[in-house]
Chains A and B, each alone.
Chain A
Amino acid sequence: MLSTVPLNGLDRLSSRRLATRCGAFLAATFLFLCAAAQPITAENRPTDTPPATAATASAGLPRLRYPVALAAADKGKLLLAANERSGTVSIVDIPGRKVIGEFPVGKHLWDLVAVPGVENAASEAFLCADSAADELKLLFRRGNEIVVGDSLSVGSFPVSVCVDSEGRRGYVASLWSRRLTRVDLVRDGTGTIHLKAASVVALPFPPRLQTLTPDGKRLIVAGAFGGEVAVVDPAASKLEAVKTIPGQNIHGLAWSRNGERLFVAQQTLNRLGYTSQEDLHWGSVVSNVVRSLDRHALEQPNVDVLAGSQVFQLGEVANGAGDPAALAVADDGTLLVALAGVGEVAWGPFETGHFRRLAVGIRPTALLSSDDRHSLYVADTFGDTIAIISRSAFETPAKAKGIVQIALGSQPPLSAADRGERLFFDARLGLEKWMSCHSCHPDGHSSDALSDTLGDGSFGAAKRIPALGGVAETGPWAWNGSIKDLGEQIRKSLQTTLRTKSVTDAQVNDLTAYLQTLKPAPPLNVMPSGADKSAIERGHAVFARHKCDRCHVPPTFTSPRLYDVGLRDELGNRQFNPPSLRGVGQRAAFFHDGRATSLRDVFAVHRHPGNTQLSDADLADLIAFLRSV
């Protein structure tokens, strides 16, 4: 599909923007601009009818692909897209502006990186993570084809891959098993490459993104949900430091050109802000930012990670920049950020932090600068398209003709859950586009941060954000158990947390259908690492002996009633509905206000419930059991 999307250029300052909005005599002009600048959204995009396409029919049957990672091939003539939903890799002919092939390589793909040092005219190698098969895949491009060269089992839910500059070592971060696997790329005499697991680094948090420092001496691994950042010595496979930056949802990492600063695209959530109209409007609840960290402060174990750090706001008042999802640095130092929740790309010089924005699709989640630096490629996950933005579009946004969009193939009609998924990740649903459901429930999980919503009926007592895996089975909802119907809870969250202007029944139904598909986080203790089976059994006995199962009733490990277990919130509420314990080992904070930050503290410090005393041995066993739930 060749189409153009007009610019959504924005005024530099919020006040100017407001000023523009205020003029009655400007209203007509403004409306015109609005209409012209309307981004493609889930609503106005004709998803049921396959978009006209310039690609060949080889794109195949209508299906959902969901590209999430991009890699350049054949000296920039080709672009590869790893598709999460379809498990395929699409090949885009850049000069021809069309898809020339699509190849099944796995189940659910995440990340795609080129392996340096093996390319020749006809062949290149790539590494790709398959989160459903729990495998790292070595792919070869031969001409216009992709073949799987080798596969290697890694920890549960691999999500990102990193390769050193020689193409000898790769690193795979596995989210739910919280591990980093070093993989050696072994060349045999025939020139073939094999994958060989070399070592594993256990991480104290679920990881997502990773990046090697420019000198290759350190590997930085960021948390999937919260703000943890691990510093790993890749040669020794040693975890050197774990630091925490404020906020959550780290979805972009990139080094400055001089390699002295690491840019982090993420979100912050202020627990002191209320999800009221005014606090949301003024950006006092959720902010979408790029944080610039000093490399030395990051790497040195005993230095404050925020020393010398800076924060750049991506959004502005009345025009939030929901859900930054990818970050790239152009060779002139310009920062480029995919704003997945609003379907835009933001760009600006990092010195000033003045970002301009361009509408590119439904949910852009991956960016790649072309080899010749003249273009930026953007993967629109829900749109199943690749957008090519020419450099001139950024340099003279007012004159830009637009963006070329290449459809990876046609899409079938969406199911209710598919539509719900789009809504879940859509920050346009939230007041002034500050946030989506995903902002606080990343991928349906939780950052375990606190948020002061009306979920508990009032402002003033911030509550821990619940994970949504298995949520359909764990009613009633809200900490005070006041909501008996999931749809009602979704409607309430939209109305009083996101402050959606008008919530339709269709939206609620679709979101309900999507939430019903979310599964609880897998337990830590049944990971391939294996766990002490007997400890889990003993822990189960402790769980039963202390009658934990009266409130946390298996199989959902919750129950519909309210209990007073000696906890009190700031407003004096004492009765809470017990949260489900499924996947509890994957959580970073516990109780309604996150007062405990480890399972051990739940019992050792807070003596939950009431004033329970546990022996050290029982405690260790109980934790082993909970991690297996």
Chain B
Amino acid sequence: MWVRQRRIVGWVGLALMGWLASHCSSAQCADAVGLAKPVEARKARSIGDQQKQVEEVARRIFAITDVVLDHHIEPATRQEMILTGLRSACAAKKISLPELGRRVSDLKTVDDLAGLLKELWPQLTHGGKPSPTDVEQAIFEGLLRPVPGSPYILPAKEARVQAQLQANRYIGIGIALASAEKKIDLPQIKHVQPGGPAALGGLKVGDLIEQINKNRIEPGSPLRATVDQLRGPEGTEVTIRVRQPDSKESRKITLTRLPVMFKSVKCDATNGDEDRVVLVNKKPAIAYLKIDSVTASTARELASWEPRFREAKVQGLILDLRGTGTREGFDNYHSALLLADSLVDSKPLGQLRTRESVREFSADRECLFRDLPLAVLIDKYTNGPASWVAAVLQDSDPPEQKRRRAIVVGVFGGGDNFIRSAFPLPSGDELIMPSAVWQRPTAGTSPQRKVRLYSWDPGANESYGWNEGHVTATAHREGVLPDAYVSYYAESRDDFQNVEFDQSTDAVPARANLRDPPRQLPRSKGASRDTSRKFDAFEDVAIIELQQQLDLAAKKQ
């Protein structure tokens, strides 16, 4: 499999189930997912067939490299891509071909490439191991390796699902599947999306799927095939027979495929599907919201919290953007732009740079939580779109200004600043790759920032608390440097590798405390934490920062 491996955390509904099947599970469904549809009829291939196959491979290589050259924001050269592709095939065969670089650099046309491939093919496929199909896959896998921004090819079927996820209009019944243990080996429901057709129809976590419509599911059959049967157009019906693992009794349920909404904004990191206002601090009243991923619905979901916060007399808000990179498929930059726009009042939103143009964006005056100071939590799993939102919030006030729209709290953010788009390939699959980069509003100015560094200090007399230090820090690559750096969180010095602090490095990681998490909550002055919550260093610092903001606001009045 040369489709990019993705890190999947937990369930994400039926949609991600597709990913689980295609990326994490067995090789049995690999063929269904591979982008380059391997040429069929592998047995007893005649020389003529082989020639045709090689020509087809050459055409596909050209089609993909054409798309990269035409649309990628920082494309590699065609020769680079082809060379890496062929070297990848050589590596698979464990051979090396002399003068490959020179020969590739002489290629001009697709016919030249076909000629070269025809010549190399016997050496690459000699002895039938690896198979011609594997050689093909190795070539395509290598092809995109020199291209920046981890491009990957999305099979046509998945492309539709990904578009639905980004729009938060996934059509289906709302379950996530995995294979049950070997003994049973039937597809098993791992998650039922609340409010979805499956949940309302009575499907339960743990249910084993025995039959879909008229097709019995054979034990050990590919998960992928089950997914394909469950999916379908909006409004169509699917009848499923299920049973609980410990039961002999089957239930037959007919469901209509409908849009399944995945909440992208949750009131809490766990069990966040409810609509209750979670106050992490009572006085001042500081509320918490977790943004799981930045989708088309995120801004509207946030807006729905505004009246609830007003009712609860909330004074400050923590927006948790940690771990947004863990739900692939949902995020997109258009949604990030809409979200950033909804959180600032007539501030610059940064730039989008394509090969042809630079587009400048600015927010309108409409602004959610207008009177609430925000604390934005980021970590190294915060992805690109969410980082853009954090950067816009951070840049909405001059760095030296004390009272701020938002304080960014956490560690150096993750994600890159590529904007990825889908480009159709002749095969119907899509090439997902960076076609633009976003730049924060203050891009081009000094990457140095004054940072407040929080390290955990158990203290000499058992009075737990935060050591606060001020340093100037510089980010070595794109990414968001927090205003309040929670060094307690750092798991290792690697977490600081992209940041340079101007003062003695001893001040930075506070390593001594890394292995000493507090057993008690900090007793900051006037703190009124919700003590039933699990201690979270980021959240704790955010409360301290918001408290300071509210003090400043009170002083001004």
Partners in one complex: yes
* A residues neighboring B (CB under 8 Å): 13-16, 18-19, 21-27, 245-247, 268, 270-274, 276-279, 281-284, 306, 308-313, 317, 351-354, 460, 570-572
A351 vs B309: C-alpha distance in the bound complex, in angstroms? 11
Residue of A19, A284, A353, A570 touching B357 (CB-CB under 8 A): A570
Contacts A270-B338, A308-B371: A18 and B366 contacting too (C-beta < 8 A)? no
Determine the distance from Cα of A16 to Cα of B254 in the docked complex, in whole angstroms. 21
Asked if B168 is at the interface (CB within 8 A of a chain A CB), the reply is yes
A351 to B312, CA, bound (A): 11
B201 engages A282 (CB within 8 Å): no
Do the beta carbons of A272 and B361 come within 8 Å of each other?
yes
Interface residues of B in 246-302 (CB under 8 A from A): 254-256, 258-261, 263, 275, 296-297, 299-300
Candidates B174, B200, B263, B275; contact of A26 at CB < 8 Å: B200
User: Given that A282-B297, A306-B370 are contacting pairs, would A311 and B306 also be in contact in the complex, using a CB cutoff of 8 Å?
Assistant: yes
B361 and A24 contact, CB distance less than 8 A: no
Please, could you name 21 A-B residue pairs with CB atoms under 8 Å apart, sorted by A? A18-B259, A19-B200, A22-B195, A22-B196, A22-B200, A22-B258, A246-B364, A246-B366, A268-B366, A270-B341, A272-B361, A277-B169, A279-B338, A283-B300, A283-B303, A284-B338, A306-B345, A311-B366, A351-B310, A352-B311, A572-B356
Distance of A273 Cα from B356 Cα, bound (Å): 22
Q: B255 to A24, Cβ gap below 8 A?
A: yes
Asked whether, in the complex, the Cβ of A278 is within 8 Å of the Cβ of B169, the reply is: yes
User: B109: shortest Cβ distance to chain A, in Å?
Assistant: 30
B359: A residues at CB distance < 8 A = 460, 570
- Report whether B200 and A25 are in contact in the complex, using a CB–CB cutoff of 8 Å: yes
Contacts A24-B237, A26-B200 known; 9 new A-B pairs at CB < 8 A: A14-B304, A18-B261, A22-B195, A23-B197, A24-B254, A24-B255, A246-B366, A283-B303, A309-B370
In chain B, residues 322-381, which have Cβ atoms closer than 8 Å to a Cβ of chain A? 334, 337-338, 341, 345, 356-357, 359, 361, 364-367, 370-371
Is the pair B371, A571 in contact by a Cβ cutoff of 8 Å? no
Chain A minimum-CB-distance residue to B201: A24
A304 to chain B, nearest CB (A): 9
Residues of B with C-beta under 8 A to A353: 306-307, 310
- Does B307 lie within 8 Å of A312, measured CB to CB? yes
| Interface: B167 (CB within 8 A) | yes
- Are A22 and B197 neighbours in the complex by a CB distance under 8 Å? yes
- Complex: how many Å from CA A49 to CA B255? 43
Is there contact, CB below 8 Å, between A15 and B168? no
Chain B residues with Cβ under 8 A from A276's Cβ? 167
- CA distance in complex: A246, B275 (Å): 29
A409 to B365, CA, bound (A): 45
User: For residue B255, which residues in chain A have a CB less than 8 angstroms away from its CB?
Assistant: 24
B299–A15 contact, CB under 8 A?
no
**Consensus secondary structure, chain A interface:** loop
> Quick one: closest A residue to B332, CB to CB?
A278
Determine whether the beta carbon of B256 is less than 8 Å from that of A27.
yes
Tell me if B297 and A24 are in contact (CB < 8 A).
Answer: no
Which residues of chain A are within 8 angstroms of B310 by Cβ–Cβ distance? 310, 351-353
With the chains together, A460 CA to B206 CA distance in Å? 45
**Chain B hits for A570, CB < 8 A:** 357, 359
Cα A306 to Cα B371 with chains together (Å): 10
- List residues of chain A with CB within 8 A of the CB of B299: 282, 284
Q: Which residues of B contact A273 (CB under 8 A)?
A: 338
Q: What's the nearest-Cβ distance from chain B to residue A353, in Å? A: 4
Closest CB of chain A to B346's CB: distance in Å? 9
Residue of A nearest to B254 (CB): A24
A527 shortest CB reach to chain B, Å? 31
Q: For residue B154, give the distance in angstroms from its CB to the closest CB of chain A.
A: 18
Partner of A246, one of B304, B337, B365: B365
Considering the complex, give the chain B residue whose CB is closest to the CB of A21. Answer: B258
Q: How far is the CA of A339 from the CA of B299 in the complex (A)?
A: 24
Inter-chain CA distance A306–B364, complex, in Å, is 12
Contacts of B168 in A (CB 8 A): 278, 282
Q: What are the interface flags for B186-204 relative to A under an 8 Å C-beta threshold, 1 for contact and 0 otherwise? A: 0000000011110111000
C-alpha gap A571/B254 in the complex (Å): 48
CA distance A282 to B197 in the complex (A): 20
Contact assessment for B364 and A270 in the assembled complex, using a CB-CB cutoff below 8 Å = yes
Q: Is the CB of B345 within 8 A of A24?
A: no
B300 touches A284 (CB 8 A): yes
A180-B199 Cα distance, complex, nearest whole Å: 59
B366, A274: Cβ atoms closer than 8 Å: no
Q: How far is the CA of A271 from the CA of B199 in the complex (A)?
A: 37
| Separation of A14 and B296 alpha carbons in the complex (Å) | 15
- Say yes or no: B300 contacts A15, CB within 8 Å: no
Enumerate chain B residues within 8 angstroms of A13, measured Cβ to Cβ. Answer: 275, 304
B169, B275, B311: which contacts A351 (Cβ < 8 A)? B311
| Shortest CB distance B172–A (Å) | 10
Is there an interface contact between A272 and B337, defined as CB atoms closer than 8 Å? yes
Q: Which residue of A lies closest to B303 (CB)?
A: A313
Chain A residues in 8 Å Cβ range of B300: 14, 282-284, 317
On whether the beta carbons of A352 and B307 are closer than 8 Å, the reply is yes
Partner of A15, one of B258, B261, B357: B261
- In the complex formed, the residue of A with least CB distance to B339 is A284
CA distance A18 to B307 in the complex (A): 20
Contact of B197 among A14, A15, A24, A274 (CB under 8 A): A24
> Which residue in B167, B261, B307, B357 is a CB contact (below 8 Å) of A277?
B167
CB B443 to nearest CB in A, in angstroms, measures 18
B255: nearest chain-A partner, CB-CB:
A24
Q: How far is the CB of B543 from chain A (nearest CB, A)?
A: 25
Whole-angstrom CA separation of A311 from B261 in the bound complex: 25
Candidates A18, A271, A274, A351; contact of B195 at CB < 8 Å: A18
What are the 4 A-B residue pairs with the smallest beta carbon separation, nearest first?
A: A23-B200, A278-B167, A19-B195, A353-B307
- Once the chains bind, are B296 and A279 in contact (CB under 8 Å)? yes
In the assembled complex, the Cα of A499 lies from the Cα of B554 at a distance in Å of 48
Q: Looking at B256, B260, B300, B356, which has the most chain A CB atoms within 10 Å of its CB?
A: B300
Q: State in angstroms the CA–CA spacing of A311 and B367 once bound together.
A: 9
A279 to chain B: closest residue by CB: B296
> Is the CB–CB distance between A571 and B357 below 8 Å?
yes
Nearest A residue to B198, CB-CB: A22
List residues of B (150-171) whose CB comes within 8 Å of A's CBs: 166-169
- A278 cross-chain contacts in B, Cβ below 8 A: 166-169, 296
Nearest-CB distance from B431 to chain A (Å)? Answer: 20
A271 to B362, CA, bound (A): 10
B303 touches A272 (CB 8 A): no
- A272 interface neighbour in B237, B297, B338, Cβ under 8 Å: B338
Determine which residue in B197, B341, B367 has the highest number of CB atoms from chain A within 10 A of its CB, and name it: B197
Within 8 Å by CB of B366, from A270, A308, A351, lies A270
Chain A nearest Cβ from B395, distance in angstroms: 17
Q: What is the minimal beta-carbon distance from B272 to any residue of chain A, in angstroms?
A: 12
Q: How far is the CA of A246 from the CA of B370 in the complex (A)?
A: 14
Rounded to whole Å, the gap between the CB of A264 and the closest CB of chain B is: 13
State whether A15 and B303 are in contact (beta carbons under 8 Å apart), knowing that A25-B200, A284-B338, A570-B357 are contacts in the complex.
no
- Contact for A284 among B296, B304, B306, B365, CB less than 8 A: B296
| Residues on A with beta carbons closer than 8 Å to the beta carbon of B195 | 15-16, 18-19, 22
- B270 to chain A: closest CB distance in Å? 18
Which of B356, B359, B366 has the most C-beta atoms of chain A within 10 angstroms of its own C-beta? Answer: B366
B196 cross-chain contacts in A, Cβ below 8 A? 22
Residue ID in chain B nearest A289 by CB atoms: B366
Query: In the complex the two chains form, is B307's CB within 8 Å of A354's CB?
Result: yes
CB contact under 8 A between A281 and B169, given known A15-B261, A19-B200, A26-B200: yes
Residues of A within 8 A of B361 (CB): 272
* Residue numbers in A under 8 Å from B197 (CB-CB): 22-24
Residues of B within 8 A of A284 (CB): 296, 299-300, 338
Distance in angstroms between the alpha carbons of A272 and B174 in the assembled complex: 30
| Identity of the chain B residue whose Cβ is nearest the Cβ of A26 in the assembled complex | B200
C-alpha spacing A21/B366, complex, angstroms: 31
How far is B338's CA from A279's CA once the two chains are assembled, in angstroms?
Answer: 10
Cα A277 to Cα B338 in complex, Å, equals 15
| Cα–Cα, bound, A16→B303 (Å) | 16
Report B360 CB to chain A, min CB distance, Å. Answer: 9
| Cα–Cα, bound, A353→B300 (Å) | 15
